[in-house]
């Protein structure tokens, strides 16, 4: 180790931007998270070249687990070309030199904000989700000490009551994204804000999901083959987003997560690469 090395400009030294000690510490937290599915593991959370709330947690998780043999895909809202996805991708690629792809099937690590790709993911793939608010119970309890107790004792009565009250007041459960789930029959977990459409796809999945909340300094995980059950009543089933008659203006898909395009009075797929491949296949 030389003084010149130590004084080197930022971002040009280590593989994966962070120093090795930091990456090891994050991996240690991730191992705990995998061992205790759905449990929020505190970690030190470094300041990253992106701001808090802009994927700093997901970025730390990706950089801690990535190796030279990996291929990375980064999406925001399902879109590879989104500005935040583009920014995170260039940081990851620039600091690791790994190849990037837009094809979810070809990526070994997929970092995402708000979506799970429409393609079924395979065992061995890692999904890294950026998490703004890791605490699923914050809406019903503000005190952090009480929240710890509730998770420790699996005392989830307050959130059940809130779901019941919601139903009675509004006729439906109004929680839109980030729907609370019970993981492995033990911990209630926040599903980042992925839409309800994506929630069932975490259940008994073959892939590993790692959740990184940089600002709140927590990581958590859903290991492969783990039950992920949305909190719902037996006689009021969990509902995903669906609009009668809607289909993608570009590829025609109806069974995909669609986002509205008011200017064109229609809908398009949020997963842009999946949509593009469907069109390519249709064109022959």
Confirm or reject binding of residue 28 to other proteins (CB under 8 A): no
Smallest gap from Cβ 130 to other proteins, in A, equals: 10
Cα gap 151→186, rounded to integer Å: 9
- As measured in angstroms, the least distance from the Cβ of 225 to other proteins is 27
Confirm if 52 and 215 have CB atoms less than 8 A apart.
yes
Measured torsion, CA atoms of residues 218, 97, 112, 110, in degrees rounded to the nearest 10: -100
Give dist(CA 240, CA 21) in Å, integer. 42
The reply to whether 214 belongs to the active site is no
Interacting residues with other proteins between 188 and 227 (CB under 8 A): 193, 195-197, 215, 217-218
What is the rounded CA–CA span in Å between residue 13 and residue 180?
40
| HSE value, Cβ hemisphere, 13 Å, CA-based, for 119 | 22
82 binds other proteins (CB under 8 A): yes
Q: Which helix (H) or strand (E) holds 42?
A: strand 41-42
The residue range among 30-38, 100-108, 120-128, 229-237 that interacts with other proteins, by the rule CB under 8 A, is 100-108
Q: Quick one: which of 34, 76, 231, 256 contacts other proteins (CB under 8 A)?
A: 76
**Residue 26 burial by Cβ neighbours in a 10 Å radius (0-12, 13-18, 19+):** buried
What is the size of the binding site for other proteins (CB under 8 A)? 78
In the complex, the smallest distance separating the C-beta of residue 284 from other proteins, rounded to whole angstroms, is: 16
**Contact status: 265 vs other proteins (CB under 8 A):** no
Give the residue, chosen from 46, 151, 201, 278, that forms a contact with other proteins under the rule CB under 8 A: 46
In the list 135, 181, 272, 278, the residue contacting other proteins (rule: CB under 8 A) is 272
Instruction: Name the catalytic one among 55, 178, 212, 275.
Output: 275
Tell me if 117 contacts other proteins by CB under 8 A.
no
251: annotated active-site residue: yes
The CB-of-27 to other proteins minimum distance in angstroms stands at 15
Question: For residues 220-259, which are near other proteins according to CB under 8 A?
Answer: 239, 241-243, 257-259
Burial of 200 (0-12, 13-18, 19+ CB in 10 A): middle
Query: Rule CB under 8 A: is residue 19 a binding residue for other proteins?
Result: yes
Contact 126, 108 (CB under 8 A): yes
Max CA pair span of the chain: 67
Provide the 8-state DSSP code for 276: H
Active site residue 57: no
Of the residues 97, 178, 248, 252, only one is catalytic, namely: 248
With binding defined as CB under 8 A, does residue 68 bind other proteins? no
Candidate list 11, 16, 38, 97, residue with the active-site label: 38
Active site residue 124: no
Helix (H, G, I), strand (E, B) or coil at 144: helix
What phi, psi does 95 have (nearest 5°)?
-95, -5
275 is catalytic: yes
Residue 83 beta carbon to other proteins: minimum distance, rounded to whole angstroms: 4
Query: How far apart, in whole angstroms, are the C-alpha atoms of residue 93 and residue 11?
Result: 12
Least CB distance from residue 46 to other proteins, whole Å?
A: 4
Between CA 37 and CA 261 the distance in angstroms is 37
- Under rule CB under 8 A, which residues in 126-165 are in contact with other proteins? 132, 142-145, 148
Looking at the annotation, which residues are catalytic?
Answer: 38, 248, 251, 269, 275
């Amino acid at each position: 180790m030389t003084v010149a090395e130590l004084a080197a400009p930022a971002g040009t030294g280590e593989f994966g931007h962070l120093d090795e000690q930091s990456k090891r510490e994050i991996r240690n937290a991730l191992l705990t998270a995998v061992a205790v599915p759905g449990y929020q593991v505190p970690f030190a959370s470094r300041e990253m070249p992106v701001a808090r709330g802009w994927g700093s947690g997901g970025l730390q998780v990706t950089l801690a687990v990535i190796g030279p043999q990996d291929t990375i895909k980064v999406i925001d809202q399902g879109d590879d070309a989104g500005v935040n996805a583009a920014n995170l991708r260039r940081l990851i690629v620039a600091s690791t030199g790994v190849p990037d792809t837009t094809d979810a099937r070809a990526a070994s690590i997929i970092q995402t904000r708000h979506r799970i790709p429409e393609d079924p993911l395979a065992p061995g793939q890692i999904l890294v989700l950026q998490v703004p608010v890791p605490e699923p119970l914050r809406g019903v309890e503000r005190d952090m000490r009480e929240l710890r107790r509730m998770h420790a004792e699996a005392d989830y009565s307050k959130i059940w009551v809130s779901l019941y009250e919601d139903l009675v007041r509004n006729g439906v459960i109004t929680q839109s994204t980030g729907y609370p789930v019970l993981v492995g029959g033990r911990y209630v977990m926040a599903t980042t804000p992925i839409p309800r459409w994506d929630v069932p796809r975490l259940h008994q999945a073959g892939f590993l999901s790692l959740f990184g909340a940089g600002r709140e300094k927590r990581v958590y995980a859903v290991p492969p083959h783990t039950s992920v059950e949305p909190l719902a009543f037996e006689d009021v089933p969990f509902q995903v987003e669906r609009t009668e008659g809607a289909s993608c203006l570009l590829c025609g898909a109806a069974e995909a997560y669609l986002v509205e395009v008011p200017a064109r009075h229609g809908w398009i797929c949020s997963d842009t690469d999946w949509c593009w491949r469907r069109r390519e296949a249709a064109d022959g």
